C-alpha cells in the first residue's frame, strides 16, 4: 500500500510546488519597467561613426590582445576605481590604445590613462574617457 501511494504523493507535491512559482518579471513586462532605466542612445551614437574605434575593431594580433589584457588587469586590480571605471572599453590596434566609456571622476580618468600609458607608451594612448556628471 505504501509503495502505491508514493507516486501519487510525489505527483501531488510536484503539482502544488509548480503552482506556487511565479514567472520572473522581464524588461518587456510593463510591471517590471523602471523609469530610471539607462538610455545610452546618445552616447552610443558616436559608435555609428565608422572612424571611431569600438570593441568590434579590436585587433586579434597576439601583441594587441596581450596589451589589452595587461591594461584591463591593472585597471581591475585597482581597488580605488569604481565599477564604471573597471568596465571601460579598451581597444588596441597596431600597438595604439583607445580608452572609452564613463568614469566617476577626473581622478579615475587620469589614473586609467596613466596605467595605460605605462604599459603601452604615453604617446600611444588616446584617452576618450568621459567623467560622468554627478547626480543630485
**Do the domain assignments include residue 25?**
no
**Do the domain assignments include residue 83?**
yes
Alpha-carbon distances of 52 from 9, 13, 99, 103, rounded to whole Å: 63, 58, 11, 19
**Do the domain assignments include residue 130?**
yes
**Do the domain assignments include residue 1?**
no
pLDDT tens-digit map of 41-95: 555 555 555 555 555 667 688 998 999 999 999 999 999 999 999 999 999 999 9
DSSP letter string, 53-98:
--GGG---SHHHHHHHHHHHHHHHH-TTS-HHHHT-EEEEETTEEE
Q: What percentage of the chain carries pLDDT values higher than 90?
A: 50
pTM: 0.60
- Integer Cα distance of 111 and 131 in angstroms: 12
**Do the domain assignments include residue 20?**
no
- Band the pLDDT of 129: cuts 50, 70, 90: very high
- Residue 126: pLDDT above 60? yes
Alpha-carbon distances of 57 from 10, 54, 60, rounded to whole Å: 55, 5, 9
Query: Grid coordinates standing for 1?
Result: 500500500
Query: Grid coordinates standing for 108?
Result: 579615475
CATH code of the domain containing 135: 3.30.1340.30
**Do the domain assignments include residue 19?**
no
pLDDT value, residue 51: 55
In whole numbers, what is the pLDDT of the chain averaged over residues?
A: 76
How distant is the alpha carbon of residue 96 from its chain centre? 22
**Do the domain assignments include residue 30?**
no
- Integer Cα distance of 37 and 131 in angstroms: 20
SS3 16: helix
pLDDT value, residue 89: 93
Domain of 134? 53-136
Domain count along the chain: 1
Determine the average pLDDT of the residues in 15-34.
Answer: 51
- Integer Cα distance of 7 and 13 in angstroms: 10
Q: Is 114 or 49 the better-scoring residue by pLDDT?
A: 114
**Do the domain assignments include residue 57?**
yes
Amino acid at each position: 500500500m505504501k509503495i502505491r501511494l508514493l507516486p501519487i504523493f510525489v505527483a501531488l507535491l510536484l503539482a502544488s510546488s509548480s503552482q506556487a512559482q511565479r514567472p520572473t518579471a522581464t524588461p518587456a513586462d510593463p510591471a517590471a519597467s523602471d523609469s530610471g532605466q539607462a538610455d545610452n542612445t546618445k552616447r552610443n551614437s558616436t559608435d555609428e561613426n565608422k572612424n571611431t574605434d569600438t570593441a568590434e575593431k579590436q585587433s586579434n594580433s597576439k601583441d594587441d590582445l596581450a596589451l589589452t589584457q595587461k591594461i584591463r588587469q591593472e585597471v581591475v586590480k585597482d581597488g580605488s576605481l569604481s565599477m564604471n571605471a573597471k568596465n571601460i572599453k579598451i581597444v588596441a590596434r597596431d600597438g595604439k590604445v583607445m580608452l572609452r566609456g564613463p568614469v566617476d571622476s577626473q581622478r579615475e580618468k587620469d589614473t586609467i590613462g596613466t596605467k595605460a600609458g605605462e604599459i603601452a607608451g604615453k604617446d600611444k594612448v588616446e584617452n576618450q574617457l568621459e567623467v560622468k556628471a554627478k547626480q543630485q
